[in-house]
Amino acid sequence: MTTTMPRTSTAGPVRRADTGHLWHPWSPIRTDSPRLVLTGGQGCRVTDDTGRTYLDLRAGTLNAIVGYGEQHVVDAVTRQARQLMTWDLAEVTTEPAALLAERIAALCPTGLGRTLFCNSGSEGIEAAIKIARMFHWITGHGERMVVASWADGYHGATTAGIAATGAAFRRDGAGPFPDGSLHLATPRCSGCAAGDTEHECQLPGAAEWESQLAAVGAHRVAAIVVEPVLSVGGVIVPPDGTLAALRALCDRHGILLIADEVATGIGRTGHMLGFQHDLGRDSGPDILVTSKGLTGGYAPLAAVTVRADIYEAFAGDPHLGGLRHGHTTGGHATACAAALAVLDIVEGEDLPARAAAVGSAVLEYLSKDLASSPVVRQVRGRGLLIGVETSSFELAQDVAALAQQAGVLVRAFGPVLTIAPPLVITEPDALSGARIITDALNAAAVGGAQ
């Protein structure tokens, strides 16, 4: 699983620069434990400055879907950077941006085919919410300003995304937030979450959401934004039919459905797009946001794809006759070139099918091996997005640290270990990594970390 190669370490100057000047996001400020200094990667493995390699079961941050050092993507990025790195899409168009927008349209249901490019998932969600509100305003329904979302969802670190996120961990101290957010009951059984093996499952659904909408006035709701699988919220997999129920609810009340596929899109869940598990290829959301896997981590990019009639409505904007939103590097030509190359690999190697098959094998193995573990509450997932919910935040952190010592990198967020490797991973590698995680869980349990 791990190898060590002789190498001159750069840890000294890098660590000085790191501890003296770099601010790490989403991370406690600490000086007592050194961080990994990663210097390279190939396939599903990354290498630190001492030459040690690690199996990456987190795909960086769920974005490195085609792995590291993929020559087809590197060549595409290099070629575009030499030819024309980018240009402001408010003024002109570029070949990669236009071709990528067309390529994304081909992945979506008919009618969902006009794409605005941003730089990150957070920016994409911000733009999607803004588009939804402005669409209603332009079409004479300015009262529709409320945005609903599941309480345990996560929709980014910018203002609108935080407002749509219910968890205090992500909200406290960042307000005040704009009015107009409604947090719907998450389709998750509280008994299962607590590890209660004797309870009868009670799942919030359409009737409860209908009631919550009625309390604020469904006529005031602009959009409902949800993740097909709640990633940061704990790899929560809504029951089959959930998105179909939301689609019907939105249609009934004239509400736009926004699919936040920042984490789930581009093959991660076993379909090209996560909403296809419920809605198939002929139906979908009104607005789709993709990011992470879109460029495979080789460049920052997000895509906000909308229905044709939503796009066309903006011709009626009284100030511009178009969308009053955008960023200097949105649709960066080199990033779009990376995305086109990544999609070549995803489609050419049918990585969604591989994610479904390998993910099923890993989920089956973990479910059986951890069935009697006293420190595991639940194992769940879809495709290569799998969560192992442990009994505590501290335990999950300990397990991730033990796995790292054994040569496997896994993400611990809250009490949940998230297994989300590059989609190019082989089944033997994925199962080998899963075994190391179960060994780490057993060791942490015996050590009293629970």
Task: For 386-415, write each residue's pLDDT tens digit.
Answer: 999 999 999 999 999 999 999 999 999 999
Please state the domain count of the chain: 2
Is 383 part of any domain?
A: yes
Locate all alpha helices (DSSP H) within 22-70, ordered by sequence.
59-62
Q: What is the mean predicted confidence (pLDDT) over 366-379?
A: 95
In the numeric block, which tokens belong to residue 113?
Answer: 């085919």
Q: What is the mean predicted confidence (pLDDT) over 355-365?
A: 98
What average pLDDT is seen over the chain?
A: 93
Q: Do 238 and 215 belong together in one domain?
A: yes
DSSP state of 36: P
Q: What is the mean predicted confidence (pLDDT) over 306-319?
A: 98
Q: Does the pLDDT at position 2 exceed 60?
A: no
Locate all alpha helices (DSSP H) within 155-293, ordered by sequence.
159-163, 168-171, 190-193, 206-216, 242-253, 276-279
Among 285, 315, 348, give the residue marking a domain's end. Answer: 348
DSSP-assigned letters across all residues of 121-170? HHHHHHHHHHHHHHHHHHTT-TT--EEEEETT----SSHHHHHT---HHH
Sorting pLDDT into bands at 50, 70 and 90, what band is 5?
A: very low
Q: What is the CA radius of gyration of the chain?
A: 22
In the numeric block, which tokens belong to residue 164?
Answer: 């749509």
Among 323, 348, 373, give the residue marking a domain's end. Answer: 348
Please give the Cα distance from 120 to 295 (Å, whole number): 11
Domain range enclosing 161 = 73-348
Rounded to the nearest 5 degrees, what angle is found at the Cα of 298, between the Cα atoms of 65 and 57?
Answer: 35
Q: Is the separation of the CB atoms in 327 and 351 below 8 Å?
A: no
Is 308 part of any domain?
A: yes
DSSP-assigned letters across all residues of 106-120? HHSPTTEEEEEEESS
DSSP state of 43: B
Least confident span in 74-88, 169-183, 219-233: 169-183
Please give the Cα distance from 407 to 399 (Å, whole number): 12
Q: Tens digits of per-residue pLDDT, 248-293?
A: 999 999 999 999 999 999 999 999 999 999 999 899 999 999 999 9
Q: Do 344 and 357 belong together in one domain?
A: no
SS3 392: coil
pLDDT for the residue 449: 43
Q: What is the CATH number of the domain that holds 413?
A: 3.90.1150.10
Sorting pLDDT into bands at 50, 70 and 90, what band is 30?
A: confident
Q: Does the pLDDT at position 78 exceed 50?
A: yes
Q: How far is CA 223 from the centre of its chain?
A: 19
Q: Does the pLDDT at position 199 exceed 70?
A: no
Among 328, 348, 368, give the residue marking a domain's end. Answer: 348
pLDDT for the residue 3: 43
Question: What's this model's pTM, rounded to 2 decimal places?
Answer: 0.94
Percent of the chain with pLDDT over 70: 93
Is 171 part of any domain?
A: yes
Q: What is the mean predicted confidence (pLDDT) over 192-218?
A: 80
SS3 56: strand
Q: Do 97 and 19 belong together in one domain?
A: no
